[in-house]
Amino acid sequence: MNTSTETSNARQETALVSVSVDNRHCHLYGICEQEAPEVFALGVDGRLRYSTHPAAPEAEATRQAARLCPMQAITLAGSVT
Number of domains in the chain: 1
pLDDT at residue 12, rounded to an integer:
53
- Work out the pLDDT band at 13, boundaries 50, 70, 90: low
Name which residue leads in pLDDT, 1 or 65. 65
Q: Dihedrals φ, ψ of 19, to 5°?
A: -110, 135
Could you tell me the pTM of the whole model? 0.79
pLDDT at residue 14, rounded to an integer:
62
Domain of 25, in residue numbers:
4-79
74: domain CATH number is 3.30.70.20
Q: For 16-38, write each residue's pLDDT tens digit.
A: 899 999 999 999 999 999 999 99
Chain mean pLDDT for the chain: 86
Question: CA-to-CA distance for 54 and 22, rounded, in angstroms?
Answer: 17
